[in-house]
């Protein structure tokens, strides 16, 4: 399985240590106060600092002021930012120029116009495709992945939206142009912000089985 793995919505120090020990490629911390997985009240910078260096730390933001994002980058030693709002290509480029990787998220419905992504080519490192829903992310439902079969842009992407344990075999054999990483969140939780490390461990092993 060459596709990378990201676990998003980490919010508690003990749970963070357990999931980090599984060695995902990315761990996501949500810095959006309206999210049920808002990390800042419970996850300290010291807890984040204990994450192994091989695991990249991603801060998730929704239409946040760039100065605040930069504060979080420094505070939590983030290697990437994931933007889930209406952030412009100019904002993405400014953040990327600071040295972090930029992931720009887009909500997908029954149809999706990939031409709207072209202004972001060259100013982001990755796209992220998530299922449209009531919240900017973490809605727990999957969209039709066949929409990505004709993806032709040069920017690799994260696949998100309701990825669950029962999808392991399908995802292991999934061949989509541009697919870079799988983003796991609500379907591996016992409650918002608390991941089931055992279920994640089993899922990782199933995905990495050739």
What residue segments make up the domains of the chain, in order of their start? 4-208
Of 157, 148, 151, the closest CA to residue 125 belongs to: 157
**Does the annotation count 92 as an active-site position?**
no
Among 8, 92, 183, 196, the active-site one is 8
pLDDT at 140 over 80: no
Among 92, 130, 183, 196, the active-site one is 130
Q: What is the DSSP letter of 183?
A: E
Phi/psi class of residue 52: alpha, beta or left (left: φ > 0; alpha: ψ in -120 to 50)?
Answer: beta
pTM: 0.94
For 110-127, letters b (16+ CB in 10 Å) and e give eebeeeebeebeebbbbb
Tens of pLDDT, residue by residue over 70-81, are: 999 999 999 999
**Does the annotation count 25 as an active-site position?**
no
The Cα angle at residue 11 between residues 206 and 134, in degrees rounded to 5: 85
CATH class of 4-208: alpha beta
CA separation (Å) from 166 to 26, 71, 123, 160, 169? 21, 38, 35, 15, 8
């Amino acid at each position: 399985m060459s596709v990378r793995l990201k676990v998003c919505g980490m919010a508690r120090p003990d749970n963070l240590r357990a999931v980090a020990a599984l060695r995902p490629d990315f761990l996501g911390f949500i810095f959006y106060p309206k999210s049920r997985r808002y990390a800042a009240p419970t996850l300290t910078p010291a807890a984040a600092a204990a994450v192994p260096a091989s695991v990249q730390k991603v801060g998730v933001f929704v239409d946040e002021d760039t100065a605040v994002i930069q504060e979080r980058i420094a505070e939590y030693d983030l290697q990437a930012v994931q933007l889930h709002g209406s952030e412009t290509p100019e904002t993405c480029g400014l953040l990327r120029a600071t040295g972090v990787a930029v992931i720009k998220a887009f909500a997908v419905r029954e149809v999706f116009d990939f031409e709207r992504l072209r202004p972001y080519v060259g100013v982001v490192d990755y796209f992220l495709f998530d299922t449209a829903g009531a919240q900017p992310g973490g809605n727990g439902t999957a969209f039709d992945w066949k929409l990505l079969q004709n993806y032709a842009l040069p920017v690799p992407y994260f696949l998100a939206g309701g990825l669950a344990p029962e999808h392991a075999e399908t995802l292991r054999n999934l061949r989509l142009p541009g697919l870079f990483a799988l983003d796991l969140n609500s379907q591996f939780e016992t409650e918002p912000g608390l991941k089931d490390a055992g279920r994640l461990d089993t899922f990782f092993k199933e995905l990495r089985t050739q």
